[in-house]
Structure 1
Amino acid sequence: MASIWQQVLALDAKYNAYRTPNNPQFRTLYIRRRSQLLREKAKSAEYDPAVRKDYLHLRAKILADRYGSPAFSDQGSIKSRSYSFGTRSIGKANMDSLDPRSAVDGRKYHRRQASIGSLKHIIEGPMKRIYDSIEVVPTKEAEASRAMAGGKSISENYAFAGMHHIFDQHTDAVTSVKFANDDKSRVACSSMDGTLSICQVIPPPATVICMLKGHKAGVADFVWSLSSDLILSVSYDGTARLWNVAAGSCMRVLEDDMGGELLSCLFHPLNNNMFVTGNNKATVHVMNMSTGKGYKGGSSKVLGQVLSLAFDPTGRILWAGDDKGSIHSFTVDVTTGRLVKTRRTTICEGQPVTCISSRIWISREARDPSVLVNCSINSLCLFRICTEDGGLQLKRTFHIKQKSYNIKSAFCPLMSFRQGACVISGSEDMCVYFFDITKEKKACVNKLLGHSAPVLDVSFNCDESLLASCDAQGMVIIWKREGKQGVL
């Protein structure tokens, strides 16, 4: 029943940003101490598993009562819309002029409520009553909340321009950059030079805390653990490595069972003892961190090299993007690690899908489960999650430059009371783009210039006060918000 404690920690992490907003050091200390205590309790055999589940439900109810239901919104879609939807080709060689409405193919989709029973493992008991009561729609009260928040527009809120710091510790392309979870000061980078670096950006002066060395080839991808005390990285040398962040040392080396190059990795959002890797042999593996072995039934073939992975916040749905232009949907059993392939959505034949990220709520006013996708078609694509098993329907596209590089994008982490919602993406034209996904026209609300090579990845810190971007020449820029920071 150790997975129950993993779910408790995930629940606490979701609400951590709301604890003592003026004391981030306490929040970091709090979540680390919670992680330590929960790991210790997980080893104890004196607790009844039923009691542990009851504790999880009660803890969720207390946090929802204290901080409000919107904070828990990313835990899952409550009354999701479902459509009859099958495998569909989204585009041809060029999607620059694609009309998102064409993805509907003239069909009429009928709305129906999803069975609450399909999420029974999350919302049974007291949580079911909480979820049944949540129905967030635009109201006059929401407009009042926006006024209280300062009344700033999306463009004003994301007016990043000044450079806080520039890092150049890597000698080759920086493939990925990510701030630690619920942390506005630490950022990590992975590079084709075979190393990772961990940097401290607040307080100034910004410094490189340590370099993680051990991979024999370029590092393709990495991810922070939920409590940000561990980093998992994968490399073209065919190994996955688990790093202790505090010690700056490698704890475990895992080799790909098929002898392939590892291209992508991801922790399960509710159980960090479970992680997923994708390799160049067109295989997705679900692995156990403690044993270093794969789960029975936890491997599945796709069409091409697995370049990108994403979970929905519940950890029940997994998406994998390949270099053949397809996104494959799976359902995942968090207890057994078993994968079941459910859907395949073709974005564009032969064009690599280089990044996938999911968001259950676009804003506090609009529940619209969505997936953001980078594909080498000079467009950033936004999809609606339209079925319970991960089926996707194209919603709209945004123009960026991407044909040759593995460009990545991200949803902005905070949900604001302001109208609109923002996503960010790198681009091969050496710019960082901000898009308001709710605007039909002139969706680009900001563009940052400063890189001298294609921008490969972007990442906000937890309070959106800083933005990190990295490029194909190894430079990492930390951007700061212009003027006085508003309240989100």
Structure 2
Amino acid sequence: MDLLCSAYSNTSDDEEEQPKRQRLSLSSSNPPKPYLPFFPSSLSNPQTHAPISGRYISKRQRASMPPLPASLPDPVPLSSPFTLSGSISCAEIPHSISSLLKTKPKGHQRLNPISENLSATLYGHTKAVNAIHWSSTQSHLLASAGMDHMVYIWNVWSRNQKKACALNFHSAAVRDVKWSQQGHFLLSCGYDCTSRLIDVEKGLETQIFREDQIVGVIKFDPFNSNIFLSGGSKGHIKLWDVRNGKVVHNYNRNLGSILDVEFTMNGKQFISSSDVSGSNASENSIIVWDVSRQVPLSNQVYVEAYTCPCVRRHPFDSIFVAQSNGNYVAIFTTIPPFRLNKYKRYENHGVSGFPIKCNFSLDGKTLASGSSDGSVYLYDYHSTKVVKKIKAYDQACIDVAFHPVIPNVIASCSWDGSILVFE
């Protein structure tokens, strides 16, 4: 062992390999053998062969060898597209509220005023929230879609975690979200050119509906949850059948981007709103379509040169409204020839180019609208006057949604990513 140490300490790395081996071999009784480095016959250049583990390599040989490949980084675990952080069950809701959720109003009847404070602030989105939607079958759940690629399900009045689960199935910003009337199914769409159907109870993506355009809006048929409309950036409107994942009808008319779609009360027609700057024809900004015949019934409903980011029908009367970038909500009839009411409209809130939405209350007596000044405006349906203005956010209030059971509860969302639920 001492001879080995002295042999390596007294000779430089620049000396030839063979004398080293000869001096080492003198300490043994075996005769010295000539050193012949071993290289596999399959290698034409022995210097490119990888070093044998445990063998001494001289400085000269190390310099002539190719660099060793860099070690691969440890694989990064992929996050699950479905994260359950709370519960979607109504068991965690206070009894006083759960009893209200089970009470179904009849017709135009209002429920008694709520004595308990139902206000809630919901944080989770890191960017703007584009849309919110209450579940009609599980009315304690609220869904939200954001520019941060996320869809969140909120158990609004839970005693514990209000953010029930996070859905990260989209690879880009999510534009719209809608609950199906069948159980816990949720439909969302966005900038990744897809609409996606999620079984929230199982945490599974059941279907993907792919298009060649950004999908900006979706809407279920009011009488058949297996059918939904989608509208996108290329002006194409499609009617999809969830059961086979195929397009039933196409509605094309060289339109600009589709901003919103809405079925009429009987479900036999629908209204579309498109970007007039893209189509360069103001008479195409709002069109009433026949669902089955795929033809427009009227394309001269609204001739002003404003885009309308939102269209909503009244729950009982034969009218629909359109949120206009002219900073007002216009009123139209749903009976041919679908005339604009030139004498009444809802004013005082701001739109200013934001995709501001509006919605009717459960009894149809109130219209709520978001606003670019961060407020929620409540209008009397018949007089069109402002009943109340609620300053909710520092940035634009994008969407408002009345609760499907409790009439004086409203959810709203903002460009800053926050969501409020209040009486």
Structure-1-length-normalised TM-score: 0.60
In the alignment, structure 1 residue 166 sits paired with structure 2 residue 121? yes
State the number of aligned residues.
317
Structure 1 partner of 2:402: 460
Q: Residue type matched to 1:405 in 2?
A: F
Specify which of 210, 215, 224 is matched with residue 255 of structure 1: 210
Structure 1 partner of 2:345: 397
Structure 1 partner of 2:322: 373
Structure 2 partner of 1:58: none
Structure 2 partner of 1:332: 291
In the alignment, structure 1 residue 275 sits paired with structure 2 residue 233? no
- Contact (CA 8 Å) 2:126, 2:417: kept in 1 or not? yes
Q: How does 1:461-480 map onto structure 2 within 5 Å?
A: 461-462=403-404, 463-480=406-423
Q: How does 1:65-84 map onto structure 2 within 5 Å?
A: 71=107
- Contact (CA 8 Å) 1:172, 1:474: kept in 2 or not? yes
Cα deviation for residue 358 of structure 1 reads 0.7
Cα deviation for residue 429 of structure 1 reads 0.8
- More helix per residue: 1
Q: Residue type matched to 1:323 in 2?
A: D
Structure 2 partner of 1:79: none
Q: Residue type matched to 1:280 in 2?
A: S
Other structure's SS at 1:353 match: coil
In the alignment, structure 1 residue 195 sits paired with structure 2 residue 150? yes
Q: Residue type matched to 1:397 in 2?
A: R
- Contact (CA 8 Å) 2:238, 2:247: kept in 1 or not? yes
- Contact (CA 8 Å) 1:287, 1:298: kept in 2 or not? no
Note the alpha carbon deviations across 1:102-155, whole angstroms, 9 max, x for none: xxxxxxxxxxxxxxxxxxxxxxxxxxxxxxxxxxxxxxxxxxx99xx88xxxxx
Other structure's SS at 2:310 match: strand
Specify which of 293, 301, 306 is matched with residue 351 of structure 1: 306
Structure-2 change in CA distance of 1:243 and 1:384 (3 Å): same
Cα deviation for residue 300 of structure 1 reads 2.4
Cα deviation for residue 478 of structure 1 reads 1.1
**Inter-partner Cα distance in structure 1 for 2:335 and 2:217:** 25
- Contact (CA 8 Å) 1:432, 1:448: kept in 2 or not? yes
Find runs of 4+ consecutive structure 1 residues off by over 4 angstroms: 21-28, 157-160
Q: Residue type matched to 1:188 in 2?
A: A
**Inter-partner Cα distance in structure 2 for 1:434 and 1:196:** 27
- Contact (CA 8 Å) 1:383, 1:392: kept in 2 or not? yes
Q: Residue type matched to 2:247 in 1?
A: G
- Contact (CA 8 Å) 1:386, 1:393: kept in 2 or not? no
Other structure's SS at 1:301 match: coil
Cα deviation for residue 197 of structure 1 reads 0.4
**Inter-partner Cα distance in structure 1 for 2:335 and 2:115:** 33
Structure 1 partner of 2:75: none
In the alignment, structure 1 residue 177 sits paired with structure 2 residue 132? yes
- Contact (CA 8 Å) 1:300, 1:341: kept in 2 or not? no
Cα deviation for residue 392 of structure 1 reads 3.5
Cα deviation for residue 216 of structure 1 reads 1.2
Structure-2 change in CA distance of 1:404 and 1:228 (3 Å): farther
**Inter-partner Cα distance in structure 1 for 2:115 and 2:319:** 24
**Inter-partner Cα distance in structure 2 for 1:195 and 1:281:** 24
**Inter-partner Cα distance in structure 1 for 2:206 and 2:357:** 28
Other structure's SS at 1:342 match: strand
Note the alpha carbon deviations across 1:219-255, whole angstroms, 9 max, x for none: 1112111135211111111011001121233111111
- Contact (CA 8 Å) 1:225, 1:231: kept in 2 or not? yes
Cα deviation for residue 320 of structure 1 reads 0.5
In the alignment, structure 1 residue 298 sits paired with structure 2 residue 242? no
Cα deviation for residue 184 of structure 1 reads 3.6
Between the two proteins, what is the percent identity of the paired residues? Answer: 23
Structure-2 change in CA distance of 1:346 and 1:206 (3 Å): farther
**Inter-partner Cα distance in structure 1 for 2:118 and 2:321:** 26
- Contact (CA 8 Å) 1:427, 1:454: kept in 2 or not? yes
Cα deviation for residue 393 of structure 1 reads 2.5
**Inter-partner Cα distance in structure 2 for 1:315 and 1:341:** 15
Cα deviation for residue 24 of structure 1 reads 5.8
- Contact (CA 8 Å) 2:315, 2:362: kept in 1 or not? no
- Contact (CA 8 Å) 1:181, 1:228: kept in 2 or not? no
Q: Residue type matched to 2:341 in 1?
A: L
Cα deviation for residue 206 of structure 1 reads 5.7
Cα deviation for residue 351 of structure 1 reads 2.5
Structure-2 change in CA distance of 1:202 and 1:302 (3 Å): farther
Q: Residue type matched to 2:263 in 1?
A: F
Cα deviation for residue 379 of structure 1 reads 0.7
**Which has more radius of gyration?**
2
Q: Residue type matched to 1:207 in 2?
A: K
Structure 1 partner of 2:74: none
Structure 2 partner of 1:322: 274
Structure-2 change in CA distance of 1:402 and 1:280 (3 Å): same
Specify which of 286, 305, 325 is matched with residue 239 of structure 2: 286
Structure 2 partner of 1:446: 388
Cα deviation for residue 25 of structure 1 reads 6.7
Structure 2 partner of 1:54: none
Specify which of 260, 263, 272 is matched with residue 311 of structure 1: 263
Which ranges in structure 1 are unaligned for 5 or more consecutive residues?
1-20, 29-66, 74-144, 151-156, 362-367, 416-420, 481-488
**Inter-partner Cα distance in structure 1 for 2:115 and 2:418:** 22
Other structure's SS at 1:216 match: coil
Other structure's SS at 1:457 match: strand
**Inter-partner Cα distance in structure 2 for 1:342 and 1:351:** 21
Note the alpha carbon deviations across 1:419-438, whole angstroms, 9 max, x for none: xx211000001100000021
Other structure's SS at 1:347 match: coil
Cα deviation for residue 313 of structure 1 reads 2.5
